[in-house]
Amino acid sequence: MLHAAPDTAQLREPVGTPAPRGELSAVLLGALSGPPFALPADLEIPGGDPLSDDDLHLALYLAYELHYRGVPGADERWEWDPSLLALRARLEERFERALVEAVPCDDPPVAPDEIDLALRGVAEADRGRSLSAYVEREATVEQVREFAVHRSAYQLKEADPHSWALPRLSGPPKAALVEIQADEYGGGRTERIHAELFARTLDALDLDSRYGAYLDRVPGVTLATVNLMSLFGLHRRLRGAIVGHLALFEMSSSVPNGRYARGLRRLGFGEDATAFFDEHVVADAVHEQVAAVDLAGGLVRQEPALAGDVLWGARVLAELERRWGDRVLDAWEAGATSLRRPLANAGA
């Protein structure tokens, strides 16, 4: 009997348990492999930079991942274990405190009908060196492959963190978010889901497109950009911040994605590699108005007190993306890998 070829989406389940990056992630990985028990309340939180520390952000990423696709080999009952949630809260407190120190919540009051203009100001602010311009004009094939590995930490679950906001919104902003997310999830077509399009990019670059395949390779500064979305999305009190994050994401995406596509074409890659980026050039040009006016503006019209949170969420996104981009460019300009370990062979 002949069997149909398997759906590639079904082959991209989470793979591999990451290696620990310090004492805390070692304890957490060891615990997750067995049934839940009470984690010690005095586990030491890593003392490195809370915006990039490898041990802290791997531990926080694992705690969040229990709410997404799960951690390979982990007992799924850990998801709502009180002691793990208490540890996660301590990690979040350290992370959030550092975010506030880096990006103070000091925006002046903004009227609901001006929030889109304020977000535009954040989107157009000069942030120094441009990673997308470098990829467009100078990046080598190996550097483009590294870039894709960094981005895989989020793009293979694109839109999921922002979807946590759906049950926290109502009326016009909820409708606006549904409109955006429907496109992110392919409008009901599996092959058009943005995460699936990015998996095609990975395949075209001779990389592993399975979910989580490169978790061991990406540094803490990359995981911080992913953890930021989960922090905002999983806390109702931060609903303004996740809306601001998504609004800026959509407003500042078209130009960089166009550059990434042109960089891939410059290196000889075809439609399989560029489809993800080409899609975002078109989709985000439409989404930016919906996100700024209907989503962010709609939320602030309902709850004017959240205007500052919306702008803070946008500014924090910009700051963490700047730090990540600088880390990658510093490494490339020094002739080094931007990953924790270089990519050796094809698909490595």
CATH (domain of 164): 1.20.910.10
245 and 151 in a common domain: yes
184 and 83 in a common domain: no
Structural domain total, the chain = 2
267 and 150 in a common domain: yes
Exposure letters 264-285 (e unless 16+ CB within 10 A, then b): bbeeebeeebbbbbbbbbebbb
248 and 176 in a common domain: yes
Structure confidence at residue 12 (pLDDT): 53
What is the C-alpha separation between 260 and 257, in angstroms, rounded?
5
Start-to-end Cα distance in the chain: 35
Structure confidence at residue 282 (pLDDT): 84
Structure confidence at residue 348 (pLDDT): 56
297 and 228 in a common domain: yes
- Cβ neighbours of residue 212 under 8 Å, at least 6 residues apart? 14, 15, 16, 18, 69, 72, 156
188 part of a folded domain: yes
35 and 130 in a common domain: no
- For the record, the structure tokens of 233 come out as 């999305």
- For the record, the structure tokens of 240 come out as 């303004």
Structure confidence at residue 285 (pLDDT): 77
3 part of a folded domain: no
Domain C-terminal end among 102, 126, 155:
102
339 part of a folded domain: no
What is the C-alpha separation between 207 and 205, in angstroms, rounded?
5
What is the C-alpha separation between 40 and 86, in angstroms, rounded?
10
158 and 62 in a common domain: no
Per-residue pLDDT of the chain (348 residues; tens, 9 = 90+): 333 333 444 445 677 789 999 999 999 999 999 999 999 999 999 999 999 999 999 999 999 999 999 999 999 999 999 999 999 999 999 999 999 999 999 878 899 999 999 999 999 998 889 999 999 999 999 999 999 999 999 999 999 999 999 999 999 999 999 999 999 999 999 999 999 999 999 999 999 999 999 999 999 999 999 999 999 999 999 999 999 999 999 999 999 999 999 999 999 999 999 999 999 998 777 889 999 999 999 999 999 999 999 999 999 999 999 999 999 999 999 999 999 999 975 455
Encoded amino acid at 264, one letter: L
What is the per-residue DSSP string for 141-201?
HHHHHHHHHHHHHHHTTTTHHHHTTGGG--HHHHHHHHHHHHHHTGGG-GGG-HHHHHHHH
Count of Cβ atoms closer than 10 Å to residue 11 Cβ: 12
128 and 262 in a common domain: yes
289 part of a folded domain: yes
What's the domain range around 58?
18-102
What is the C-alpha separation between 221 and 47, in angstroms, rounded?
15
Count of Cβ atoms closer than 10 Å to residue 171 Cβ: 11
348 part of a folded domain: no
328 and 264 in a common domain: yes
189 and 281 in a common domain: yes
159 and 252 in a common domain: yes
266 and 125 in a common domain: yes
